[in-house]
Structure 1
Amino acid sequence: MRSFQLIAALVMCSLPFGQAVSKDYDLVILNGRVMDPETSFDGVSNVGIRNGRIERITEEAIRGKETIDAAGHVVAPGFIDLEQHGLGPWGIKVNLRDGVTTQMDLEVGALNIGDWYAAREGKTQANFGTTVGQEFARMRVHDGLELEGANIYAPFFFDIRAHASEDGVDGWSVTRSSVEQMNEVTGILDEGLRQGAIGVGSTIGYAQKGIMTYEMLEAQRAAARYGRMTSVHHRFHPSAATPTESPTGVNEVLMNAVALKAPLQVHHDNDYGWWENQEKMALARAQGHNVWATYYPWIAGSGNYGASVVAPDTWEKAMGFKYEETIFDPQLDRFVTKEEFLEFAKNEPGRVLVAYSPPRKKWLPEWTKVEHFIVAGDGMPGLDADGKPLDWDSPYENYAGHPRTAGTHAVTLRIARENGVPLMHTLSQLSYWPAKHLGDTGLKAMRERGRMQEGMVADIVVFDPENVTEHATFQSGTNGLPSTGIPYVLVHGTIVVKDSRVLKGVFPGQPIRFPLEEKGRFVPVSADSWLREYTVGK
């Protein structure tokens, strides 16, 4: 027996390095330019994948059961989108064509977190995750909506908002909470966190009259008790008028985050004051705070007619915009007059619109150059021109809405390329920084993504760096055209986009979440408890 072992060892040692153990991987990606934003590794290599993970990155020859020839292409970590509202089958599909392997809505969030995740296990083509939504929690308390089940999330939130306003009052948006109501809302948030939500999602920008500053502090404190993020569409966005400048809204949540030593994400910081917000966040990060913001590289935004941000007091008076020049209706395929806007706001408050912001044109190239400024598509629900939901088989041409739903990540690559931005920096905006910041909250699934390294999860995008581009535009019939130059996308080691076609019936998407906890961490607020904590003699 010992003679056999000795002979075997001698034979193994006589083989050239790299051939000592010959094995097939599940999948190999050959001859591609492998780029890892965390380590700055950048070199032509072969990638071996087994059991959903990157097992080897090498210049040596390897083989697998499946092979992708990536010559002339970049092999990079799959793009991670932290704000996608169109998470139906069509929306997930078109985002896969844009290279997005992890698609989450951390702004609006969801309710019934355990049910939400359970409904998607084994049924989703991309990785999925959510926050617990402050908006929905307030709807339960202030509008009396039950909001049970697994579908209290985007893309249904416009319909839910319309339901909440059926009595003529958007309670969630305009009603101030009593202490008891605030505790009820915070308790709902805590239950979502207990069930594994990534953090708290807040749309305070749509509820700036209803959510008082102390209620916002308590929402952030609820997440902070778990060490988790609050993800915010901030108050006063995108106002340029004093005393309601947009940075004032960021100051509110940034101050809370610093005071609580808690993570913070600010959504779509691509309007007035973005430069001030980015400077403050950089200063906070230099002091050790885990704070960041997102942007999308488009000259127009999107929302619904009932949103306070496009109401006359904000859109006309504070911003100085004219409806007939800036508010575009995708279903009508034209701009609307103020009279038409007011009619839709009254009768169809959930109807989707596109809102142009002229100053963005000169700012847009600069966003691609800012460190820790993360790309998030803010994709809208997949609807056709009649407002009906698209299904997986619906033609891309049938989508009527904002093109950011389909082409955000490819347009970022194109604009960065045209402005001389280093590709490694762009990949950090698309993949590494979202994974890094979420991973730093303790989220294990994100510590294993956003990186091209051995041992990491094999969420991978293969793209042509010289030709990748968007095709979605604001013109009718082109809103949902998919990006090109991204021939392969892998989720958890499984090919989901092959030769620029999304494969049907392939569901490798993994849940991005925290573990379920046995007990919650909710602590109610009261005047007595405040006095005991912050005054003497009690």
Structure 2
Amino acid sequence: MYDLKIINGIIIDFDTGQKKVCDIGIKKGKIDAIGNCPEDAKREIDASGKIIAPGFIDIHMHEENLKEGGANPIDISNRMLLMGVTTCVAGNCGNNRQSLEEFIHFIHHKGMPVNYLSFIGHNFLRNAVGSTDRYQKASKNEVEEMQKLLINAVDQGALGVSFGLEYAPGIDLEEVLDLCSVIEDRKMLLAAHYRKDAKHSIPSIKEMMEISKQTGHPMQISHIGSSCAYGMMTEGLDTIQKGINLGLDITVDCYPYDAFSTYIGSAVFDEGCFGLWNKSYDAILLTEAPYKGMRCDEALFHKARKEHPDMLVVAFVMNEEEVIQAIKAPFVMVASDGLYRKGQGHPRGAGSFPRVLGKYVREKQELSLLEALKKMTLMPAKRLGLESKGEIKEGKDADIVIFDQNEILDGATFEDPQALPIGIDYVILKGEVAVENNIIIKGDLGKYISNPLEKTVQVNSLL
């Protein structure tokens, strides 16, 4: 007997690109049979007319701040699950919102709505060893202390190291390479938030490529839209493609919005940023009390930056057509870069994946459904070494999202950044129904996944 059977759903074969209507039988958290599934089941779901897709994999997001939420700290994981994401990668942009040990301990003991992998952030390590001046290079002793912490994190199961070069301008290439020297014999993935955007984006991309070349580790270039979507996207994508052609192991992610979000007190908003973007202060939306929903003028910008440096703000500074251009590139995956603080922030944390499927696939027809789904599932699964995820095939994990391709769309807005998507009927994790009709039924099925790259001989070709 199956634990769960899904009948009459539409599966897209990633190998052939063909759609087919069939049933899926699930046992013990795995896809046991596809096609003719004659056995009875403890529960049956009729998915007539609906797409049965692998659970989405968000290779770039920002985990919970477990100390911020009080008795119920789960915030962004719930938003991830409700938009069809079943596996996430945390610790991006050089930052962890708590120690990796604390994060893993919480998941092991209480579960999570989604599965998690995590980078260990360079900037987090800097703060941990007292290198708190973001404009200064870390000392030799501080680097040595960071190396010890890095080895410990890797031994705990960190996926690799993430860098937030823009957030700490004092970091130089030597510091990055010195830190990574202690993991040269480990199978790791690196990820990096660029050093500078707009006209500086091409040198920034080349620096990230150089880090990959010199360390010998593959590189995930983070959210290229917020780096290059200022008239630089064509050159940026061409630069990356040339590196790939020369043998560098580089992939990229992008979220489907023309605005970025970060803390107003960060170095991103240092002097000269508005000239760089060719925008004025009113491009900045404040997301928290006492200024929630207000656009800045010069006085309010500086007041908020001084008095509320940890406030998340939204910057409407990018060109959407270049964001679409990035998402269509063959080496770019869809990711959210989702981050909330006190429930506020950018709608990408609740809407990215249904937005691509609804706006860019169905409405604008910029991507086929097959292309979009691969960028959300198979590509990140292969990049992360998740051999049992990312496809609807027998023997794979039963992490599944069932949605209506004619209805799916993001619901989150800049005014209501956690609003629910529409058109997603079910989200299934480990063969159990986790979400049904926008209601979380089981929110503790997720586990922490230790670095799967160290368990594989090599990552298969993505393309």
Q: TM-score normalised to the size of structure 2?
A: 0.88
Deviations 1:400-431 (A, max 9, x none): 32111211111011112223221111001111
User: 1:494 and 2:432 equivalent?
Assistant: yes
Instruction: Choose the corresponding residue for 1:251, options 206, 210, 219.
Output: 206
C-alpha contact (below 8 Å) 1:37/1:425 kept by paired residues: no
Percent identity between the two aligned chains: 27
* Cα distance change of structure 1 residues 109 and 432 upon mapping to structure 2, 3 Å threshold: farther
Instruction: Choose the corresponding residue for 2:287, options 321, 327, 330.
Output: 330
After TM superposition, give the deviation of residue 339 of structure 1 in Å.
1.7
Instruction: Choose the corresponding residue for 1:418, options 347, 363, 367.
Output: 363
Instruction: Choose the corresponding residue for 1:57, options 10, 16, 34.
Output: 34
Cα distance between partner residues in 2 of 1:127 and 1:38 = 26
After TM superposition, give the deviation of residue 262 of structure 1 in Å.
1.3
C-alpha contact (below 8 Å) 1:128/1:509 kept by paired residues: yes
| Counterpart for residue 408 of structure 2 | 468
C-alpha contact (below 8 Å) 2:253/2:335 kept by paired residues: yes
* Cα distance change of structure 1 residues 134 and 260 upon mapping to structure 2, 3 Å threshold: closer
What one-letter code is carried by the residue in structure 2 that aligns with 1:317? Answer: G
What one-letter code is carried by the residue in structure 2 that aligns with 1:343? Answer: K
| Counterpart for residue 15 of structure 1 | none
Query: Mapping of 1:134-533 within 5 angstroms?
Result: 134-143=122-131, 170-171=132-133, 173-208=134-169, 210-236=170-196, 238-240=197-199, 245-271=200-226, 272=228, 273-313=232-272, 315-324=273-282, 326-331=283-288, 332=291, 333-357=293-317, 359-383=318-342, 399-414=343-358, 415-420=360-365, 421-439=367-385, 446-474=386-414, 476=415, 478-503=416-441, 505-514=442-451
What one-letter code is carried by the residue in structure 2 that aligns with 1:322? Answer: S
User: 1:48 and 2:25 equivalent?
Assistant: yes
Range 58-67 or range 125-134, more displaced: 58-67
Cα distance between partner residues in 2 of 1:239 and 1:250 = 11
Q: Secondary structure at the match of 2:78?
A: helix
C-alpha contact (below 8 Å) 2:312/2:344 kept by paired residues: no
| Counterpart for residue 68 of structure 2 | none
Q: Secondary structure at the match of 2:3?
A: strand
User: 1:131 and 2:119 equivalent?
Assistant: yes
Cα distance between partner residues in 1 of 2:181 and 2:15 = 31
Deviations 1:250-296 (A, max 9, x none): 21121121233311111110032333333333344345543211111
Deviations 1:27-67 (A, max 9, x none): 11111111243564531111111111111111454431111
* Cα distance change of structure 1 residues 26 and 462 upon mapping to structure 2, 3 Å threshold: same
Cα distance between partner residues in 2 of 1:41 and 1:116 = 40
After TM superposition, give the deviation of residue 361 of structure 1 in Å.
2.3
| Counterpart for residue 79 of structure 2 | 94
| Counterpart for residue 52 of structure 2 | 75
User: 1:85 and 2:62 equivalent?
Assistant: yes
Runs of 4+ in 1 over 6 A off after TM superposition: none
C-alpha contact (below 8 Å) 1:368/1:416 kept by paired residues: no
Cα distance between partner residues in 2 of 1:231 and 1:459 = 25
| Counterpart for residue 69 of structure 2 | none
What one-letter code is carried by the residue in structure 1 that aligns with 2:280? Answer: K
Cα distance between partner residues in 2 of 1:262 and 1:306 = 32
Cα distance between partner residues in 2 of 1:228 and 1:430 = 21
Cα distance between partner residues in 2 of 1:109 and 1:351 = 16
Deviations 1:230-261 (A, max 9, x none): 1111111x232xxxx11211211211212333
Q: Secondary structure at the match of 1:205?
A: coil
After TM superposition, give the deviation of residue 436 of structure 1 in Å.
1.0
Computing the radius of gyration over CA atoms, which structure comes out larger, 1 or 2? Answer: 1
Cα distance between partner residues in 2 of 1:493 and 1:207 = 42
Q: TM-score normalised to the size of structure 1?
A: 0.76
* Cα distance change of structure 1 residues 62 and 369 upon mapping to structure 2, 3 Å threshold: farther
What one-letter code is carried by the residue in structure 2 that aligns with 1:416? Answer: V
C-alpha contact (below 8 Å) 1:106/1:231 kept by paired residues: no
Cα distance between partner residues in 2 of 1:286 and 1:41 = 30
What runs of 5+ residues in structure 2 fail to find an aligned partner? 65-72, 455-463
C-alpha contact (below 8 Å) 1:97/1:484 kept by paired residues: no
After TM superposition, give the deviation of residue 215 of structure 1 in Å.
0.8
Deviations 1:208-236 (A, max 9, x none): 2x101111223444444312011111111
Deviations 1:325-347 (A, max 9, x none): x1111222121112221122222
* Cα distance change of structure 1 residues 328 and 321 upon mapping to structure 2, 3 Å threshold: same
C-alpha contact (below 8 Å) 2:164/2:192 kept by paired residues: yes
Q: Secondary structure at the match of 2:43?
A: strand
C-alpha contact (below 8 Å) 1:265/1:292 kept by paired residues: yes
Cα distance between partner residues in 1 of 2:280 and 2:265 = 17
Cα distance between partner residues in 2 of 1:222 and 1:43 = 49
What runs of 5+ residues in structure 1 fail to find an aligned partner? 1-23, 144-169, 384-398, 440-445, 518-538
C-alpha contact (below 8 Å) 1:223/1:229 kept by paired residues: no
Cα distance between partner residues in 1 of 2:238 and 2:181 = 24
